[in-house]
Structure 1
């Protein structure tokens, strides 16, 4: 085992004196960014873009997928480069501020998605792409601050607290928007059966379009404590030779990662696979429920709130178990739970649960979650929510514990890269299987391959051996 460098030891020493206000301010970044993922990417704006803004839903879905994939690929390509530059010793906050500008500008641009004005489609997709790049790359630098804030044995608690706070932020923002602002175009009323609290034009879908600017304002308000109260590395002059050296080193970083940090590389490949599976289950789980039960905006909004609550509790509990049992153990057990729950979800159709047990089909117009099939589906979905938080939270904690202190930002760049570079793999597999079999259920089942493959690789990861050799 290589001895820790003096630089690494020094970087850890101030973490014990980081105050609670600084740690809370760091965790509020997850609270600040979560509405982008909850409101824009998953539950509200994306469905509006596909079914409301675009005249052809199939074309809208395809364009949204392409915009997502291109933006994530750009972010994945830039993350290791920018991480190498930041690891030259410069502060992380300026990078977070720069990418925050992209996020806010992109979110604000979603207001332009006026129904019928299809000529604005490229601008709206560009705005979404900028927001995606901004959110992903700001997160890389925020994650890389963790080891300088708390000691190694407290990383799990801090990470879990951040994820839990993010889930709460998503829940609160979704509840506010779905209950008080966004109305069903057929009824003109919100999830609570109320008229929107602000005068919005339903004909131009102003409620749906307001999701972007709302998320931008939310982010600006709640990211400020990070800049004001969380400590960063001291500023130093930007030396061109240091940046050049970092970029030159980047070309050797992948070889170094494989040859000298093989366990980290193995973990990143495992994480790439199971992250693809997780993303696919969440992306297509709501679509499958809408197909089977005929859920509309009200049911899907309530479904999202329930899953967000489950994820909040899961992330918080996962952080506690992380520090007691270890990051890898938490990921392994919660991945097993996630896979079992995903199988349970797929065991439900219109008139069967657990693949073969007959139940009465949902009566059209009945109350949400009133049929047996819906209740079983919801129970398994809650287990998915409980498991997903610890998987994601403990993944970044495991990397923070495995990587050398002087390569933290660079390796978190690879972490982002591993989570995005194959983001299209699982959806493409689902599409191919669905087309070949004509079964949406069998198509979504393809995500289980990615989850299982990631789990099997993770079992081979030895965190204690991650620094057994030096570059």
Structure 2
């Protein structure tokens, strides 16, 4: 492979490394939990009792996720169609990168006694929407990076590279910056760097500037080595043309059985996977009683396995194609969901366990390995499968539809988990609908051609 082609691939993968901390640090392990604590304390101050305040805090965070998902879902196809008509993706990535950096940096200003919850919720999800929107344009470069066989390996390697970036950033936060709320010390007993004040949670709030600086530095290879093809450059189309082109694409997709089945199936299994990411920590806290230290170690293990198995999954994708990888990962994630439903602190599928036993903790650590590994490989293989169903003349629009299918039902899994938990009064049984969603995704894959849409 020519040197310029290799540099272009490394530049493309740099986005995954640069953007992953927004998910690892922002959404899951650092800012998300910090926001929940601040919000809960705020609602306690308004007179709500403990459980009610916690529920309200979780509802606010879930509302932000839902609205952001809907914004991404319904703007992605339009942005993709517009970019394909102009032949230019890079200016959009520049714009979204600026918004990402502003959204991330602003999180520094959310103090522990903040009452401006909705302002910071808005700022966080503005940055999140920018990251997801930029990702759609990044994905649109993927078909031009290699053949169908090479794309699977490249997609897996890029996703794996991103997870390693998330791991490094998480370790930096836990070791040097994020303080324990009780002791004021980091994970290894240090004071937060730079004289940051633990009482004001400045170590934790530094997650915002860290994500912003990290992104600004590590996006440099992308901007240096990845460029639009000048031959694709076109004029700015009127919105009516964009809308008409998009409607034509949607009608064409409806007539393409393999593509439609893949997008609909992906809508179900990707929603189920996102539910595992979003509620796995909740399960650990509510069912197993884990504290911050355990959650931190769980996060590190999950990200490491995601990085390793996503890379391995990319190699199997290159050899076998993405469909077998997707099916295997769904089965593994269904196994995890079954264990979650059947296990608690005191029993494992009806067999009693001593309340002080480490058995449930070890089992859930194993579940974290599978969630990280199979989840990462599933994402990369799905991206590779989308390439095989993409019109080479309109790749950005195709990945806009891919984003739409991944976000259009973002509310479904959380709503079903809420419903089942309410009806059964049991946190574990609340995960039953996640299994159903994986099954629906698996069924739809029956009509997906492993090599993409057959020529007509």
TM norm structure 1 = 0.91
TM-fit CA distance, 1:292: 2.3
TM-fit CA distance, 1:453: 0.7
Q: 1:59 to 1:465 in 2, by over 3 A?
A: closer
Q: 1:244 to 1:224 in 2, by over 3 A?
A: farther
Alignment of 1:277 with 2:272, yes or no, is yes
TM-fit CA distance, 1:158: 0.5
- The 3-state SS of whatever aligns with 1:293 is coil
Q: 2:394 — aligned with what?
A: 407
Alignment of 1:319 with 2:306, yes or no, is no
Alignment of 1:77 with 2:74, yes or no, is yes
Alignment of 1:45 with 2:28, yes or no, is no
Aligned pair count? 445
- Encode CA deviations 1:149-204: one digit per residue, 9 max, x unaligned: 22222001100001100110111111110111101110111112222222112222
The correspondence for 2:323, drawn from 328, 348, 354, is 328
Q: 2:426 — aligned with what?
A: 439
CA distance in 2, matches of 1:330, 1:292: 31
TM-fit CA distance, 1:468: 2.7
- Encode CA deviations 1:27-69: one digit per residue, 9 max, x unaligned: 0110111100001101111111111344233222111111121
Question: Contact (CA 8 Å) 2:276, 2:371: kept in 1 or not?
Answer: no
Q: 1:367 — aligned with what?
A: none
Alignment of 1:426 with 2:413, yes or no, is yes
Higher mean C-alpha displacement, 292-301 vs 434-443: 292-301
Alignment of 1:357 with 2:354, yes or no, is no
The correspondence for 1:128, drawn from 91, 114, 124, is 124
1:296-311, aligned counterparts within 5 Å? 296-311=291-306
Higher mean C-alpha displacement, 83-92 vs 270-279: 83-92
TM-fit CA distance, 1:243: 6.1
- The 3-state SS of whatever aligns with 1:203 is helix
* Structure 2 residues without counterparts, runs of 5 or longer: 44-53
Question: Contact (CA 8 Å) 1:313, 1:386: kept in 2 or not?
Answer: yes
- Encode CA deviations 1:376-427: one digit per residue, 9 max, x unaligned: 2212321222211111100010010121201211110000111111111000
CA distance in 2, matches of 1:444, 1:236: 47
- The 3-state SS of whatever aligns with 2:193 is coil
The correspondence for 1:231, drawn from 215, 222, 227, is 227
Q: 1:150 — aligned with what?
A: 146
Q: 1:388 — aligned with what?
A: 375
* Structure 1 residues without counterparts, runs of 5 or longer: 1-14, 364-370
Q: 2:46 — aligned with what?
A: none
Alignment of 1:212 with 2:208, yes or no, is yes
Cα-Cα RMSD: 1.8
Question: Contact (CA 8 Å) 1:32, 1:222: kept in 2 or not?
Answer: yes
TM-fit CA distance, 1:362: 2.9
Q: 2:111 — aligned with what?
A: 114
The correspondence for 2:155, drawn from 156, 159, 163, is 159
Question: Contact (CA 8 Å) 2:298, 2:368: kept in 1 or not?
Answer: no
Q: 1:27 — aligned with what?
A: 13
Question: Contact (CA 8 Å) 1:348, 1:376: kept in 2 or not?
Answer: no
Question: Contact (CA 8 Å) 1:183, 1:191: kept in 2 or not?
Answer: yes
Q: 1:168 to 1:258 in 2, by over 3 A?
A: same
TM-fit CA distance, 1:75: 1.3
Question: Contact (CA 8 Å) 1:276, 1:422: kept in 2 or not?
Answer: yes
CA distance in 1, matches of 2:309, 2:236: 45
TM-fit CA distance, 1:236: 7.0
Question: Contact (CA 8 Å) 2:186, 2:192: kept in 1 or not?
Answer: yes
Q: 1:275 to 1:230 in 2, by over 3 A?
A: same
CA distance in 1, matches of 2:208, 2:237: 40
